[in-house]
């Protein structure tokens, strides 16, 4: 992780047009699906397409987690609706990533097991 962070700093200082390091802080949007329609949210005002983080996308992300310091799981929808949440959290814990889940909190009681990445 430290070597990757130093490489990222060097690439940025050198003005590299193509980075070989992995970002040390990553935000993942696992789904655009949401269980609410809050008036202040962009979901209520825009016609958002529907997407979900697929298994292939998850595999690519997991391959990069050894280099990531912090992972924010948030996005255009409610991350607790994503079936990929639990495997992502388990792998983030495995690689020692500080993980934050940005949620509206309505489904926490149903997903406590997924949120406890220790199993």
Summarize pLDDT for 22-67 with one digit per residue, the tens.
Answer: 999 999 999 988 888 888 877 666 666 678 899 999 999 999 999 9
pLDDT at 119 over 60: no
What pTM was computed for the model?
A: 0.84
Question: With DSSP H G I counted as helix, E B as strand and the rest as coil, what are the percentages for the chain, rounded to 5?
Answer: 45, 10, 45
Cα–Cα distance for residue pair 74/82, rounded to 1 Å: 11
Pairing of strands 70-73, 25-28: parallel
């Amino acid at each position: 992780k430290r070597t990757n962070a130093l490489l990222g700093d060097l690439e940025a200082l050198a003005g590299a047009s193509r980075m070989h390091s992995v970002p040390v802080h990553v935000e993942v949007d696992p789904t655009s699906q949401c269980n609410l329609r809050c008036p202040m949210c962009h979901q209520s005002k825009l016609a958002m397409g529907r997407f979900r983080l697929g298994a292939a996308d998850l595999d690519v992300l997991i391959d990069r987690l050894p280099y990531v310091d912090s992972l924010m799981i948030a996005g255009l929808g409610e991350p607790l609706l994503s079936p990929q949440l639990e495997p992502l959290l388990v792998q983030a814990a495995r690689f020692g990533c500080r993980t934050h889940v940005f949620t509206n909190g309505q489904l926490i009681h149903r997903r406590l097991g997924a949120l406890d990445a220790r199993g």
